[in-house]
Structure 1
Amino acid sequence: MSTSNRTTQIRVLVAGGGTAGHIEPALAVADALTGHFGAQVICLGTARGLETDLVPARGHVLELIDPVPVPRTLSMDLVKLPFRVVKAVAQTVRVIRNNNLDRVIGFGGYVAAPAYLAAAVTRTPFFVHEANARAGLANKLGTWLGGTGLVAYPDCGLKGQFVGMPVRPELSAVPPDSPAAALRRSEAIEMFGLDPDKKTVLVTGGSQGAATLNEAVAGAAPAVVDAGFQILHAYGKKNPAPATIGGWVALPFIDRMDMAYAAADLVVCRSGAMTVAEVTASATPAVYVPLPHGNGEQAQNAAAVIAAGAAEIIDNASMNGGVLADTVIGHLRNPAGLAAMSRAAGGCAAGSAAEDIARMVATGSRS
């Protein structure tokens, strides 16, 4: 544990729940707060999110509140929304007061808005981290309430200081030709039961899976395997397991994404902000298939790394088994092209964002 940056112990509420895209950056900062600054961390989440598994696994305390999803249509849920907000804020106020917390930091999602409102009510200094290229409503509310804005993209529509995306340090790439990289790849190949003599494409739709990618893999697998390659596929816990063939390893969820990237020569995935940051940090060449819903933030999330030559993008409507097979085989048959993409990704990596953010929270400073 680092001691040079240690402050008097502070107590921090870290609010990031729901999907891995909200939880992982929150946990990266939580880890930095405890590991580098000796902080006491309480994580805030709901019973319906992945945080019930991911937070305890990382050794942090988890407090649960009721989720407050915002209905997008006129319904009874919309009528009930104010009452749900009041209840969730009251629950969060109790967490802050019962644990005598000094700071709050939120990362968007269902628990962020109650956390920001509770911080305002209790006059607890708070920070708002926006991970996406287009800011969400909860984080806009947070800065409007007086939270210190921190952004991963300078032009995301949220007023705040650019800090980048916090990722776990173990996701950072080691030099590709080093003995450490070879050992890490060997361990990853063994972990997932892959063939060490074949190149690997990792296909993942994130923590929830992606029906479009799952269907495309099913169509592409015979051609990819026949071409001499193999597939590591995370299809999502809520989706049915695919009928695999030899050379296609399918798992509902991969909790060691650092090892999955170490095993992969190429990744095909959605372009959520956290996914792009992790893939880039690992210097893995990528093919992004942005989620077609929302306000277009997924395409924007990947724009910089695509412009740098670290990845390419395929529109969701164009993705099918034939397109996936042609794309994957084309890349895996081009080692020089993959190496160039990997070098480009290395030049875009986030650096020390998690520790930088933790320092700001621990010291209460804005830089």
Structure 2
Amino acid sequence: MRVVLAGGGTAGHIEPALALADTLRGLDPGIGITCMGTDRGLETRLVPARGYELELVPAVPLPRAITPQLLTMPGRLAGAVNAAAAVLDRVRADVLVGFGGYVATPAYLAAKRRGVPIVVHEANPRPGLANRLGAKLTDHVFTGHPDCVLAKAEYIGTPLRREIVQLDRLSMGDKARSWFGLQTDRPTLLVFGGSQGARSINQAALAAAPALRSAGVQVLHVVGPKNTVEREPPPGDPQYVLLPYLDRMDLAYAAADLALCRSGALTCAELTAVGLPAAYVPLPHGNGEQRINAERIAGGGGGLLIDDADLSPDWIIQNVLPILRDPERVAVMSEAAVRLGRKDADTTLARKVLEIAQ
């Protein structure tokens, strides 16, 4: 069996693909897996680090609307489709699974040309152009959000890494806090802004640091690799731990009682899977999908929702701090969050992919 996975750009496209790859290998160690991406995204770092083969095809930004001209675009698109087809031919692909991003469009078109079965997974409630196109070329469409608008789609959740799916936050809590140099008996706030960080979240959390610490709250703050901090909180107890980047987000989730974060599809899928409540600050740009993600969780009692423009140190002090000081409320929100999550999407999608390929 030979499977090609096409997805790139952001961690939201790449991590579900890699989670599927890990699960496929677990079901069949002899399966051949090739990842297809471009040189523009995080796949150039994430895919090799996980031990999978990465084939690069040219990145071709496309118009936002599907038009008849899309399939006849000359030049770069044709070259990208040919490059993707060459990958499918070389590995003798039995199935292509696409997750979106620049690479998915030429991959879908190449698979259609070669007669390779296509599987589409869309993590967001509002699918991008690539997956809208892919969904027109196949009957095998799966989504990570129950309200995704793709036709013929089946909601299964978003494939997640094994270390996230198997995480037991309660049993790992003390060990995780010690790993970060935090005390085991203090309420803990986790602050992060996705794989690249979020300046507005960083600024609000740092400005609220004195009030949080005076209330006995310790903070684990991942600022993002491209963000700088003008003034760090002074050392002392409770701890305020600043990190530029963190590969072990499973330990961060285990250490925390509550998170302050963006609401990308992958973040929401991971937090609900592990039952970590959060104050969600949707990205103020794009097509509004982050707000839709957060509204579902906040409406179900598993988190709070605050617009980026309204986020401030005072809001954190008035809304986040009371939750952290109320263990019973944290427990209720955690139970609500986990009811909204899915832990079996990787296995469900893997079995469907194998069935379709066979």
1:33–1:218: structure 2 CA closer, same or farther, 3 Å change rule?
same
**Counterpart-to-counterpart distance in 2, 1:86 and 1:175:** 48
Match of 2:302 in 1: 310
Contact 1:102 1:125 in 2 (8 A): yes
Q: What residue number does 1:124 align with?
A: 116
Corresponding position of 1:231: 219
2:142/2:156 contact within 8 Å kept: yes
Q: 1:68 to 1:242 in 2, by over 3 A?
A: farther
Instruction: Structure 1: state its 5+ residue gaps.
Output: 1-9, 73-77
Q: Does 1:204 align with 2:204?
A: no
Aligned to 1:163: 156
User: Residue 309 of structure 1 aligns to which amino acid in structure 2?
Assistant: G
TM-score by length of 2: 0.90
> What is the DSSP-based 3-state SS (H/G/I as helix, E as strand, rest coil) of the residue aligned with 1:69?
coil
Is 1:83 aligned to 2:92, yes or no?
no
TM-score by length of 1: 0.88
Which position in structure 2 is the counterpart of 1:214? 202
1:20 is matched with which residue: 8, 11, 36? 11
Aligned to 2:67: none
| C-alpha distance in structure 1 between counterparts of 2:319 and 2:16, whole Å | 30
1:247-266 pair list within 5 angstroms: 247-266=239-258
> Which portions of structure 1, spanning 4 or more consecutive aligned residues, are displaced by more than 4 angstroms?
173-176
Asked if 1:281 is matched to 2:273, the reply is yes
Q: CA deviation at 1:254?
A: 1.6
Q: Measure, in 1, the Cα distance between the counterparts of 2:186 and 2:74.
A: 55
Counterpart-to-counterpart distance in 2, 1:279 and 1:70: 32
Looking at structure 2, the residues matched to 42 and 69 of structure 1 have their Cα atoms a distance apart, in angstroms, of 23
**Mapped partners of 2:324, 2:277: distance in 1:** 10
- 8 Å CA contact 2:6, 2:107 repeated in 1: yes
The aligned amino acid for 2:21 is A
Deviations 1:38-78 (A, max 9, x none): 32111112223222222222222112222223477xxxxx9
| Runs of at least 5 residues in structure 2 that lack an aligned partner in the other structure | 65-69
| Aligned mate of 1:352, from 341, 344, 350 | 344
After superposition, the C-alpha distances for 1:6-57 in whole angstroms (9 at most, x for unaligned) are: xxxx111111211111111111111111111332111112223222222222
- Indicate yes or no: 2:334 matched with 1:342: yes
1:45 and 1:241, CA in 2 relative to 1: closer, same or farther beyond 3 A? farther
Counterpart Cα distance in 1 of 2:350 and 2:47? 17
Name the amino acid aligned to 2:27: H
Deviation for aligned residue 1:122 = 1.4
Matches within 5 A, 1:7-156: 10-38=1-29, 39-70=31-62, 82-146=74-138, 148-156=140-148
Task: Report the identity percentage.
Answer: 48
The DSSP-based 3-state class of the residue aligned with 2:100 is coil
Please state how far the C-alpha of 1:248 moved relative to its aligned partner. Answer: 2.0
Answer yes or no: is the 8 Å Cα contact 1:44–1:62 preserved in 2.
yes
Q: Report the Cα distance in structure 2 between the residues aligned to 1:167 and 1:229, rounded to whole angstroms.
A: 30
Verify the 8 A CA contact 2:188 2:256 in the aligned structure 1. yes
1:233 and 1:70 map into 2 onto residues whose CA distance is 36
Match of 2:332, SS state, is helix
Q: 1:220 touches 1:325 (CA, 8 Å); kept in 2?
A: yes
What does the per-residue CA deviation read over 1:293-346, in whole Å, with 9 as the maximum and x for residues that have no partner?
122111111233222211111111101222123322111111110000111122
